[in-house]
Amino acid sequence: MNEQSPSAELFIDHTLSFSLPARNARGRAVRIGPVLERILSAHNYPPPIRHLLGEAVTVTALVGSLLKDEGSQLTLQAQAKSGPVSLLVCDYRDGELRGYVDYDPAAVADLGVDRSLERLFGEGYLAVTFDLAVAEERYQGIVPLEGSSIAEACETYFDQSEQVPTMLRITVDCDGDNCMAAGLLLQHLAEGEDGRDRIATREEHREWEHVSIMGGSVTGEELLDSNLSLESVIWRLFHEEEQVLVEQGPLLHRGCRCTVEHFESVIARFPKDEQAEMRDEEGTITVDCAFCSRKFALEA
């Protein structure tokens, strides 16, 4: 995109990576269609839960695409005890997206059009976990489940746990069985990591202020417009920059890693007496995968 017109790539079910070198900023953009519909089709979710999961899957795709090493995984988990939604979990690994919501149907039906986090979850927390494949390390941050959306709660995570200024803009449009979601992530790359002050400790930073204002001007209509490529969206926002570097991310797909072999390996880790308690009268252990709504029978 440096001194060039944007391409015609729509990037549906792809992530788009970009950076603004002169502003010490990076970003991700995504537009998810068929992949999101496959994730949502595993269960008969009501509209508020479809919208919630659509948002969470989009956030997961954006944040997960920040991972550099193959085999690394991001897990986003929101959990609460008092609200209609008790658990939301999504993960991303090498372009694979999964997502699931556990909720009380009757309580969700009573919500009406109110989709705020407070009404959906009550008091709860958001856990963001990075499993890094090459380093074989796990990093997890936990923040209160506060704000108007999952995206806002995730911004709080980056601010408090990572001290990385972050902006997320997510939009979800579900009409019957058709569902499309899109999002934009912007982050300031802290130039003070090597012995200097972190950006978050300063009273102001004009570079990030400019980037966040420009990025915050994007509309949901622009992000979802299938006649407008994501490159074009980024070009509209940042065409006055000295340089905008763009790279296509991996193809996204609904990935459920559930197989008989996988579950057998998991069950094998339990003591023999606990395995015996899991078996029915015929000696079969039945495992129900919440992500894809399938049951797997593990024979004796």
In the chain the domains, ranked by start, together with CATH numbers, are 14-254 (3.55.30.10), 260-298 (no CATH)
How, if at all, do strands 294-298 and 285-289 pair?
A: antiparallel
Question: What is the pTM (predicted TM-score) of this model?
Answer: 0.86
Q: At 47, which amino acid appears?
A: P
Give the tokens for residue 226.
């299938």
Q: Are 63 and 76 in contact (CB under 8 A)?
A: yes
Q: What is the mean pLDDT of residues 106-128?
A: 88
Tens of pLDDT, residue by residue over 20-55, are: 999 999 999 999 999 999 999 988 999 999 999 999
Tens of pLDDT, residue by residue over 152-201, are: 999 999 999 888 999 999 999 988 778 999 999 999 986 544 333 444 44
CB within 8 A of 225, min separation 6: which ones?
none
Give the tokens for residue 31.
């537009």
| Crossing angle for the helix pair 206-216 and 230-238, to the nearest 10 degrees | 130
Residue 212's pLDDT band (cuts 50, 70, 90)? very high
